[in-house]
Structure 1
Amino acid sequence: MACRISELVIDVADPERLAAFWSEVLGYVELGREPDGSIEIGPPEVGFGGPQPTLVLSPSSDPRTGKLPLHIDVNATDRDQDAELERLLALGARPVDVGQDGTENWHVLADPEGNEFCLLHRRLPPL
């Protein structure tokens, strides 16, 4: 037996804003809200427990220091990397320099709160 990742919990200042951003990026929908202000998003019609992990955006006022020790990688499913980069930038992502040398075949971006994620080169089939 083994475990699998069922959800990723991300501490954020504005769960509403990041739930909207990540729902657009991933094609997710809102699955639920908790009394503490957390918002869970996940794949439509599958939700929690499916092949893709859900994201829980949990409110936090703790200050962030430095580069995140864990980040999300995403791949386009219905367009090439350049077109997906344009889409992500239009949604509010921004390029970030974390020490890349310019020869990478991925883009380092940040969501509207500055959480780093990478847009990888290879296109994946949708689930």
Structure 2
Amino acid sequence: MACRISELVLECADPARLAEFWCEALDFVVLGDEGDGSLEIGPRDGFGGPQPTIILSRHAAPQPGKPRLHIDVNATDRDYDAELDRLLALGARRADVGQTGAEPWHVLSDPEGNEFCLLKARLDPL
């Protein structure tokens, strides 16, 4: 039997602000408070389903430097350009990591500067 990803943990200074951004971006909800100001967000059906949850772990000074892991997202109910516009309106910013412009994705950052990619392929919603 294999294991699967159940949670992703993202260190951040303001879990509530990032919860607002990522819940809107992913159609997630706040599932719980970890007791130290950290928040768990995830799909409406909660922990343990086909999608992992995200723990927004409160840290006064998140670890500086380039993270070794980032999140990729895909549009499900609109085209690529419309999803890019929606994410930018939510507070995402374009990020330059040396891309050429020919890639089938956009590199963005969330309100705290965590990089993520919007991939061009559209996926069916779960």
With the shorter chain as reference, the TM-score category is over 0.9
Structure 1 moving runs of 4+ over 4 Å? none
- In structure 1, distance between residues paired with 2:66 and 2:89: 23
Partner of 1:85: 84
Partner of 2:33: 33
**2:85 corresponds to 1:72:** no
Given that 2:15 and 2:38 are in contact with CA atoms closer than 8 Å, whether structure 1 keeps it comes out as: yes
Q: 1:98 to 1:28 in 2, by over 3 A?
A: same
- In structure 2, distance between residues paired with 1:63 and 1:91: 22
Q: CA deviation at 1:22?
A: 0.3
Q: CA deviation at 1:62?
A: 2.6
One-letter amino acid matched to 1:39: L
Partner of 2:122: 123
Given that 2:94 and 2:109 are in contact with CA atoms closer than 8 Å, whether structure 1 keeps it comes out as: yes
- In structure 2, distance between residues paired with 1:31 and 1:72: 19
Report % sequence identity: 71
Q: CA deviation at 1:65?
A: 2.5
One-letter amino acid matched to 2:80: Q
Secondary structure (helix, strand or coil) at the match of 1:118 reads strand
- In structure 2, distance between residues paired with 1:27 and 1:73: 15
Deviations 1:4-52 (A, max 9, x none): 00010110000000011000000000100021111001101x1000000
Q: Over aligned residues, Cα RMSD in angstroms?
A: 0.9
Q: How many residue pairs are counted as aligned between the two chains?
A: 126
One-letter amino acid matched to 2:96: D
Partner of 2:48: 49
Q: CA deviation at 1:63?
A: 4.4
